[in-house]
A = this chain, B = another copy of it.
Amino acid sequence: MMIKVEEVINELIKPIPEPEKTVDTLIVGEKDKVVKGIGTTFMATYDVIQRAIDLGVNLIITHEGIYYSHHDQTDKWIQDPIYLEKRRLIESSDMAIFRLHDAIHLYKPDGITKGLLHSLDWGCYVEKNDLTESILTLPAMTLGEFAEYVKKKLNIPYVRVVGDVSQICKRVAVSVGYRGGGENAIPLFVREQLDLLITGEGPEWETPEYVRDAVQQGRKRALIFLGHAESEKAGMRYLAKKLKSVYPTIPVHFLDEKPVFQII
């Protein structure tokens, strides 16, 4: 059976109503090409694209944009040699690249958060899935134990933590990506009676400083920043698994990357 790029895209966006505005788009490639192999990834780096080519993949599904801008505003670096070299690699490879960002976040529940909860083995502790986070009551552990647990389960070398590592936590919100900003995150602590928020990233002096003030006041608040990619790639790994069952005749790969930062 010949599956075309467009059919895979339609499968991916099928769960949600047609949006008025979206960043999800076929960044490069033709809709009617036959799919020989699929690769899902958090963000198609230069190396991810090379590995995809080597694996015979001709459709990459990337969660984040490939040119370093959420709204693809690349006009300021359209002559940059790194940008141009990446374009050359893609154009010489007959690769299609689809960005799946808004749609997967709009799955019910959010497909990226669901993948993270799956990797954390926490699916059975979810009390509710809101639009931007899931709320869980977990077996009690200290903040330090939570940090070690998520590192081990997600196979990541470090997390950034705010709070008293000996604080016992059990009421936890899990969110992904850039949802650590104050406007989203701070109101959750009171509304959901949280001990701990686990998320991707956010501005450093909003939610982190709120949690520090809380601890300095002797109140229970804690925060773990997993990293943006580290919070979202489990969702793209989970998607690869799902696509394997939808298209059993097409090879489907999850294309992993190392953490972008080294801690020195």
Is residue A17 contacting chain B, with contact meaning CB distance below 8 A? no
Does A11 touch B at the CB level, under 8 Å? no
Q: Report if A98 contacts B (CB, 8 A).
A: no
Per the bound structure, the CA–CA distance linking A73 and B187 in Å amounts to 12
| Contact indicator B43/A261 (Cβ below 8 Å) | no
Q: Which residue in B82, B159, B212 is a CB contact (below 8 Å) of A221?
A: B82
Supply 25 A–B pairs (Cβ within 8 Å), ascending by A: A45-B212, A46-B212, A46-B213, A46-B216, A64-B205, A76-B186, A77-B186, A77-B210, A80-B189, A85-B217, A158-B264, A160-B263, A161-B263, A161-B264, A162-B260, A165-B262, A178-B203, A200-B204, A204-B228, A204-B261, A208-B261, A209-B260, A212-B260, A225-B261, A263-B263
Which residues in A have some Cβ–Cβ distance to B below 8 Å?
42-43, 45-47, 64, 68-70, 73, 76-77, 79-82, 85-86, 144, 147-148, 151, 158-162, 165, 178, 182-183, 186-187, 189-190, 200-201, 203-210, 212-214, 216-217, 219, 221, 225, 227-229, 260-264
A149 to chain B, nearest CB (A): 11
On whether the beta carbons of A228 and B214 are closer than 8 Å, the reply is no
Q: B151 touching A68 by the CB < 8 A rule?
A: no
Instruction: Tell me the smallest distance from the CB of A20 to a CB of chain B, in Å.
Output: 24
| Min C-beta distance of A106 to chain B, whole Å | 20
A201 CB contacts on chain B under 8 angstroms: 203-204
Nearest residue in B to A48 (C-beta to C-beta)? B216
Contact between A219 and B82, CB atoms less than 8 A apart = yes
* CB nearest neighbor in B for A47: B216
